[in-house]
């Protein structure tokens, strides 16, 4: 599957799960940057090229969440790259700002 199809599939999955439109807009506008970044790195065989990371604060703005690990900016969407799916088994995924990029709403125009 090509990177554009993977991005589109992830976007549609979030849309089907009723992700807020404001977040979907940020993700959509970051499409060109995410695809470029993924093309520029060596994606290991079997790894997921990229995944959007949505903070709980964006999805549930009226709730307070504790912090026991280094967190991303609580009001932004990030993408992580070259993700081994085993990282999600039996423990929460932990990452630092070294292996992700922030989605910016100015990167592309929807439509």
Domain chopping of the chain, boundaries: 3-62+72-102
CA atoms within 13 A on the CB side of 52: 31
- The CA distance from 39 to 59, in Å, is 29
Q: What is the pLDDT of residues 3-24, one digit of tens each?
A: 999 999 999 999 998 888 988 9
Q: What is the pLDDT of residues 39-91, one digit of tens each?
A: 999 999 989 999 998 776 666 666 665 554 444 455 578 888 998 877 766 55
State pTM to two decimals. 0.69
Q: Give the three-class secondary structure for 93.
A: coil
Average pLDDT of the residues in 29-36? 95
């Amino acid at each position: 599957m090509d990177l554009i199809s993977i991005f589109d599939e992830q976007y549609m999955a979030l849309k089907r799960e009723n992700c807020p439109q404001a977040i979907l807009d940020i993700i959509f506008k970051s499409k060109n940057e995410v695809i470029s970044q993924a093309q520029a790195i060596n994606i290991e065989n079997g790894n997921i090229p990229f995944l959007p990371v949505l903070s709980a604060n964006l999805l549930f703005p009226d709730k307070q969440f504790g912090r026991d690990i280094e967190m991303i900016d609580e009001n932004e969407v990030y993408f992580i790259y070259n993700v081994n799916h085993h990282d999600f088994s039996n423990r929460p995924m932990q990452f630092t700002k070294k292996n992700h990029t922030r989605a910016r709403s100015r990167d592309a125009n929807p439509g």
